[in-house]
Amino acid sequence: MLYLPIGVVFINAGIEDGAPTLGAFADVLSDPFYFGVFAQWFADPFAISDHLRSVVGWLAAVSVSLSVVSVPGTTIPIPWLDISTPGVRTGLFGFTAYQAALSTVASVALGLPAAYILANYEFRGRQTIRSLTILPFVLPGIMVAVGFYAMFAQGGTLNSVLGIAGLGPFSFIEYSPLAIVIVAHAFYNAPLVARITVAAWETVDVRAVETARSLGASDRRAFLDIVLPQLLPAVLTGALLTFIFTFMTFPIVLALGGLQLATVEVWIYDRIQRLAYTEAATLAVLETVLSLGLIYAYLRYEATQSRLAQGTARPPKQPLFPDFRTAISTKRLAIVGYGVVALLVFVGPMLSLVIGSVTDSSGLTLQHYEFLLNRQLEGESFQTLPAVAIRNSLLFGLGTLAIAVPMGVGISVLTARAGRVGTVVETLAMVPLAVSGVVFGIGLLQGLAFGISLPGGWQLQITGGVAIVVAHAVAAYPFVTRSVSPLLSGLNPAMVESARALGASRYRALRDIEVPLVATGIVAGAAFAFAISIGEFSSTVILASGTDSYTMPVAVERYLGRRSGPAIAMGTVLLVITSVSFVVIDRVGGRVER
Amino acid sequence: MTTVELDGVSKRYGSETLALRDVSLTVSDGEFFTLVGPSGCGKTTTLRTIAGFETPTTGTVSFDGREMTAVDPEDRNVGVVFQSYALFPHMSVAENIGYGLNFAEPPDGLDAADRIAELLELIDLSGMGDRSPDQLSGGQQQRVALARALAPAPDLLLLDEPMSALDAQLRESLRRQLVEIQSELGITTVYVTHDQAEALAVSDRVAVMNNGQIEQVATPQQLYRKPATRFVATFIGDNNVFEGTIQQSRPPRTATGSQPDKTSPEMWPRDCVSVAVGSETFRLPAVDQAAEEVTFCVRPGALSQHEPRNQLTVAVETTEFLGETVRINGRWNGRSVVLQLDTVPEADELTVGFDPTAVHVIDTDESS
């Protein structure tokens, strides 16, 4: 189910007129549009001295300068590191990597302070914020994009707020769509970085730090020698995952940047819309190879870092604001400052989404919802109807549950077994994380939706809703596996053996001991799977194009093209439904998240 | 009740690792039988083979003469207690204890609730049945695990290092409770531990294991006094093991030769044989004179400063004050020697001797 569509993509890219060829790859690789200056490397890979000369020449022309510039439109000065490079045409892949790198830097910069605060301070709501860091995984990308749109657009909430102070309005999105896309990526990935880092920070054994202190290391030195080396792997893991995710970014760039900021994914989508399937498939293969390489690097890295964190004594957490004197110290003020920025980045867009849905330039209004209602009541069947989108989303969500939960649990059971089989299955189960929804969507579209001829005159064909459910299930099952596996492998085998010795059969022991103990993980995984299905955009938009099996995120994108108000209202509906899923995750799966 | 018999049991993991090599033993009805040895010696594998969690590669397991080798663990009617307790965290204490009663009738015509109450009382946890296991201390959890194993009145109780996660004092008191309960019920028990002192303290008989093999099966006293192998001699208690060469029957000399021999012939048992260890010669009884080599051991307590026979001068290296006694680690003739004295010695060198009859000969090389 997973490998077939990917295989179809590879075959489409590599076979022309029934004969295998690498022509399509050569075309793409040597096209400066895709690979910029590197295209000539691919075109003539053996002219090494020429290439080296051009690299050296380019490096010699790089200059770095630090200057103070003012925020556009105001006189607020900010330091600005200016790296001036001679113009290089990096091409589509180069740009994709460039924005991913910038997004990674932004995510780490925004995530590390959060990790520091969560790991070292105790305050009300700490645990809630810690569990909220899982949220980005279930937030639909298109909804986040619309939220940023509602905040930063010409008539958005940020301009309304600035307007009170007599500033603006500014055209943030038009001025620098790349900056907004990067902030949106940070919204997604900074919590991930924070989450992984906090987990590592909390397993640092305080006794190791105390040992270092007793051996003569200063507080600072102990941090550098003991804590930092244990955090770095986590930070690098977070950064690498962020790079992978933002390299494959799609809905955010599509909605906020459009084709002028096209990343590989957006361009593939555009090629499909223009029916240029071979080119799309070729690009998809190249992208998949790159992201698989990254995932492989990640897995290798993770494997070298895995160690037993057993019996560690956790450092005590300080209260954040114990008294007024401490509260106005530089350190605490810096934390407050960070809090304001975090509030702006994380809460701003979601709040803007809700506010934007009930306001327009003249004040409070319900006209956006009214538009949705009217469209539902009076719209033509070829138009995008809100109720159909909601119904489809819920149906596909249930369908996804039916496939992803048994599949995810089954894989967990296989991987819980020690040995080589477990490792192989675990690695294969990670593959969906490396294959983007767009690539998978093409595979399903070209393979199953157009039909595959089987020997004996049979035709394997699945269409519309079924194909979408398959795509969603593939995207969702790793999350089921990830919530069930830790519980399953954490089970003491002696428990099952005790039950057996007391007279329970193997099946009975499974029912009485294993299933109840991993039940929370299964339910949490199911809620994840449902939320992912509700929010999935990339493959759905491809599979649903031209059909009536569109979902809520697809409806949001379709509305966004014409009127922003209804899109924001639809996004709010999506937010409500996603929030309900999250509450279920938190209530039921709260014990899983530690 | 039940006897357990292992006959030629071997267990091989993969193609190379041999966890058990030809293990044969019999545990009698009602006996407290202990498997002791260093980690990795195969004692836990032996216990798991009896429980049915491991299937032997070769050999048979039988209970009361009935072959059980291929019987599933749930059909063996054994109670197992693990080091990690393995209490079911999602069940209360009472539900844990009562779990086995889902599959077996409670004994003595009791109903399940009465049986659970009876066991809670047995382990001094009456009234705690509704608690969750994680609300109990380590010692209490271990007692619940024991009660859970005993609830269906098993034929056989198997304990896998049940005390090793507890601190020393608690371990001793629990150990006494365990022995009391065991003898009261008269249940055949196989106990696994790496602690030789614990093994000596609780067992009717002990099997010492090493490298997947049984070195010796004996009562604690026999094991201590008459170790069958060099490994047992050094594993069970402190010991000094010497290898010597058998000399022709000549009168003993002292090491330096300059001092006159303070012993008179009537102080020696008859049939003593001279044995050279390094530069020293000792006289030992009950040694096969035809052999060339002999391995023998002398407990630290048998080495006395007041003993004129079989003397050796030991260079003191470390002194450990243990309260009643003082343990001295020293060197003699290039080998380490352990002594046990009543007081902390002043000198750097101590001359001690041993009674020839206090020697235990482990084996004599009969190759000649």
* pLDDT, mean of residues B192-220: 94
From chain A residues 502-541, the ones with a CB under 8 A of any chain B CB are: 502-506, 508, 512-513, 516-517
- What is the C-alpha end-to-end distance of chain A, expressed in Å? 32
Contacts of residue A56, defined as CB under 8 A and 6 or more positions apart, other chains included, come to none
Asked if B6 contacts B50 with a C-beta cutoff of 8 angstroms, the reply is yes
Q: How far is CA A512 from CA A470, A517, B104, B158, in A?
A: 32, 9, 16, 22
Written as six digits, the tokens of A251 are: 């809905």
pLDDT at B255 over 50: no
Q: Tell me the pLDDT band of B257, cut-offs 50, 70 and 90.
A: very low
pLDDT at B367: 40
Q: Which one, of B159, B126, B183, B167, lies nearest residue B36 by Cα?
A: B159
pLDDT at B38 over 70: yes
Q: Helix, strand or coil for residue A8?
A: helix
* pLDDT, mean of residues B262-266: 67
The mean-pLDDT minimum among A162-176, A381-395, B211-225 falls in: A162-176
Q: Judging by DSSP bridges, how do beta strands B188-193 and B32-36 pair with one another?
A: parallel
pLDDT at B37: 94
* pLDDT, mean of residues B59-64: 94
pLDDT at B138: 87
Q: Tell me the pLDDT band of A15, cut-offs 50, 70 and 90.
A: low
Q: Where is B300: in which H helix or E strand?
A: none
* pLDDT, mean of residues A68-86: 58
CB contact under 8 A, B72 and A498: no
User: What size, in residues, is chain A?
Assistant: 594
CB contact under 8 A, A502 and B99: yes
pLDDT at A321 over 80: no
Q: Tell me the pLDDT band of A294, cut-offs 50, 70 and 90.
A: confident
The whole-chain average pLDDT of chain A stands at: 73
Q: Where is B194: in which H helix or E strand?
A: none
Asked if B260 contacts B288 with a C-beta cutoff of 8 angstroms, the reply is no
Q: Is A363 left (phi over 0), alpha (psi -120 to 50) or beta?
A: left
CA distance A537 to A141: 7
pLDDT at A385: 72
Asked if B352 contacts B281 with a C-beta cutoff of 8 angstroms, the reply is no
Instruction: Write down the ipTM of this complex.
Output: 0.74
Considering CB atoms only, which of A497, A512, A517 is closest to B53? A497
pLDDT at B221: 95
CB contact under 8 A, A499 and B99: yes
Q: Where is B134: in which H helix or E strand?
A: none
Chain A residues inside the 8 Å CB shell of B88 = 495, 498-499, 512-513
Select from B13, B99, B164 the residue whose CB has the most chain A CBs within 10 Å, as the one to mutate to test that interface. B99
pLDDT at B256: 46
* The CA-based dihedral angle spanning residues A240, A243, A245, A248, taken in that order and rounded to the nearest 10 degrees: -140
The mean-pLDDT minimum among A16-20, A226-230, A518-522, B175-179 falls in: A16-20
pLDDT at B186: 92
The mean-pLDDT minimum among A166-180, A341-355, B332-346 falls in: A166-180
pLDDT at B254: 46
> Which of residues B27 and A125 earns the better pLDDT score?
B27
Over residues A506-517, the pLDDT tens digits come to: 888 888 888 888
Half-sphere exposure of A48 (CA within 13 A, CB side): 1
Tell me the percentage of chain A whose pLDDT exceeds 70.
61
> Which of residues A314 and B317 earns the better pLDDT score?
B317
- DSSP conformational letter for A226: I
- Crossing angle between the packed helical segments A264-273 and A91-120, to the nearest 10 degrees: 130
Q: Tell me the pLDDT band of A309, cut-offs 50, 70 and 90.
A: very low
CA distance B162 to A555: 62
pLDDT at B167: 85
CA distance B3 to A120: 59
* pLDDT, mean of residues B232-241: 92
The mean-pLDDT minimum among A307-311, A394-398, B267-271, B341-345 falls in: A307-311
pLDDT at B115: 93
CB contact under 8 A, B104 and A499: no
Q: Helix, strand or coil for residue B278?
A: coil
pLDDT at A329 over 80: no
pLDDT at A83 over 60: no
* pLDDT, mean of residues A343-370: 75
Q: Other C-beta atoms within 10 Å of A594: how many?
A: 9
pLDDT at A75 over 70: no
> Which of residues B150 and A277 earns the better pLDDT score?
B150
Contacts of residue B223, defined as CB under 8 A and 6 or more positions apart, other chains included, come to B200, B206, B208, B216, B232, B236
* pLDDT, mean of residues A314-337: 73
Distance from the B135 Cα atom to the nearest Cα atom in chain A, whole angstroms: 18
Residue whose token pair is 């595979």: A443
Asked if A448 contacts A460 with a C-beta cutoff of 8 angstroms, the reply is yes
Q: Burial level of B352, CB count in 10 A (0-12/13-18/19+)?
A: buried
* The CA-based dihedral angle spanning residues A227, A233, A238, A241, taken in that order and rounded to the nearest 10 degrees: 180
Q: Tell me the pLDDT band of A34, cut-offs 50, 70 and 90.
A: low
- DSSP conformational letter for A373: H
> Which of residues A4 and A143 earns the better pLDDT score?
A143
pLDDT at B188: 95
* pLDDT, mean of residues A136-146: 77
- Provide the H-helix boundaries in A135-176: 141-152, 157-164, 172-175
- Crossing angle between the packed helical segments A437-444 and A277-305, to the nearest 10 degrees: 130
Q: Where is B81: in which H helix or E strand?
A: strand B78-81
Q: Which one, of B279, B274, B284, lies nearest residue B257 by Cα?
A: B279
- Encode B28-54: b = buried (16+ Cβ within 10 Å), e = exposed: eebbbbbbbbeeebbbbbbbbbbbbbb
Select from A420, A497, A498 the residue whose CB has the most chain B CBs within 10 Å, as the one to mutate to test that interface. A498
pLDDT at B297: 92
Among chain B residues, CA nearest to A500: B74
* pLDDT, mean of residues A19-44: 60
Contacts of residue B219, defined as CB under 8 A and 6 or more positions apart, other chains included, come to B203, B204, B205, B206
> Which of residues A133 and B60 earns the better pLDDT score?
B60
pLDDT at A61 over 80: no
Diameter of chain B measured on Cα atoms: 83
Q: Which one, of B192, B80, B46, lies nearest residue A500 by Cα?
A: B80
Chain A residues inside the 8 Å CB shell of B100 = 502-503
Beta bridge partners of B62: B5, B67
Distance from the B75 Cα atom to the nearest Cα atom in chain A, whole angstroms: 6
> Which of residues B253 and A481 earns the better pLDDT score?
A481
- What letter represents residue A316's amino acid? P
The mean-pLDDT minimum among A81-85, A300-304, A584-588, B307-311 falls in: A81-85
Over residues B95-143, the pLDDT tens digits come to: 999 998 888 888 888 899 999 999 999 898 998 999 988 889 888 999 9
pLDDT at A196: 82
Q: Burial level of A531, CB count in 10 A (0-12/13-18/19+)?
A: buried
> Which of residues B334 and A226 earns the better pLDDT score?
B334
CA distance A245 to A265: 11
* pLDDT, mean of residues A282-289: 73
> Which of residues B280 and B25 earns the better pLDDT score?
B25
Q: Is A311 on the interface with B (CB under 8 A)?
A: no
Distance from the B176 Cα atom to the nearest Cα atom in chain A, whole angstroms: 24
pLDDT at B113: 92
Global confidence as pTM: 0.67
Asked if B174 contacts B140 with a C-beta cutoff of 8 angstroms, the reply is no
Diameter of chain A measured on Cα atoms: 82
pLDDT at B343 over 80: yes
Q: Tell me the pLDDT band of A559, cut-offs 50, 70 and 90.
A: confident
Q: Is A499 on the interface with B (CB under 8 A)?
A: yes
Contacts of residue A281, defined as CB under 8 A and 6 or more positions apart, other chains included, come to A9, A10, A12, A13, A24, A442, A446
| Dihedral (CA of B83, B86, B89, B92) sign | negative
For chain B, list residues whose CB is within 8 angstroms of any CB belonging to chain A. 51-53, 72-80, 82, 84, 86-90, 99-100, 102-104, 145, 148-149, 151-152, 158
